[in-house]
Structure 1
Amino acid sequence: MPRFLAVYTMKPEDLASFRSLPKAKQDELDAVGIPKWVEWEQRNAAFIVDRGGMVGKTTRVTKDGVTEAVNPFCGYLVVEAETADAAARLFQDHPHFTVFPGDGVDIMPFLT
């Protein structure tokens, strides 16, 4: 079955806004979102090949050297599905963007 990279995205300014919320408000969102995320993973466990994880600051390496970089990537996982559309449907209503300040999930096929 085809595999797809699912990349969680979040605008840096949205992350900054979330981090600037009072700790109690962040905890309140976590209390709602984390159980929903766990439920999503359990419901889709048969399709998840690699649970991936959340990622931190970016370091970019180019021919000019090593520098800090900014991008919208905040996590990833790998899923199996018949098509890219089927993989995308797994993420509809995901807590990454329905509870937390994420702005989307990008789905990309692995090429063979």
Structure 2
Amino acid sequence: MKTYLAVFLGSAAAMDAWKALPEAERNQREQAGIAAWHKWVEDHKGAIAEMGSPLGKTKRTDKNGVSDVRNELGAWTLVKASSQDEAARLFLNHPHFTIFPGDRVEVMECLPIPQM
């Protein structure tokens, strides 16, 4: 089994549209999404290596210093699977994009650090 990092992504436009929903509708969808996410976790608990977490606001550090930035990263999870295709299929119909305003989940293998 290999380990795969799944990153949950969503566009700024999708998040802005989510925030523009009437509060009661947004709260109802949020509760449904949380319940569906917990069901997804229960259904896939054997494959989840690290639950991960939602991600907060982003700071960028580069040669010019530190600045606030906005990106599409929303959350992360580590899963175990025998192939990248198998790992990616775990996220078909995930509530991140079927209920919440997320756009997609991208899955990549966690490779070993090269030895010197």
TM-score of the aligned structures, taking structure 1 as reference length: 0.95
How many percent identity over aligned positions? 37
Which residue pairs with 1:65 in the alignment? Answer: 65
Give the gaps of 5 or more residues in structure 2: none
Alpha-carbon offset, residue 31 of structure 1: 2.7
Deviations 1:55-101 (A, max 9, x none): 11110111221111121001001101001100000000001101111
Runs of 4 or more, structure 1, over 3 Å off, are none
Residue identity opposite 1:95 in structure 2:
P
For residues 102 and 43 of structure 1, what CA distance do their matches in structure 2 show?
Answer: 20
Aligned residues between the structures: 112
**Structure 1: unaligned runs, 5 residues or longer:** none
The letter for the 2-side match of 1:13 is: A
Give the aligned partner of residue 98 of structure 2.
98
Question: What is the TM-score with the length of structure 2 in the denominator?
Answer: 0.92
What root-mean-square deviation, in Å, do the aligned CA atoms of Structure 1 and Structure 2 show?
A: 0.9
CA offset at residue 28 of structure 1?
1.4
Counterpart residue type for residue 5 of structure 1: L
Question: What is the correspondence of 1:1-112 to structure 2 with a 5 Å cutoff?
Answer: 1-112=1-112
- Once residues 65 and 50 of structure 2 are traced to their aligned partners in structure 1, the CA distance between those partners, rounded to angstroms, is 31
- Compare the two structures and name the one with the higher helix fraction: 1
Q: Distance in 1 between matches of 2:66 and 2:5?
A: 25
**CA apart distance, 1:20:** 1.7
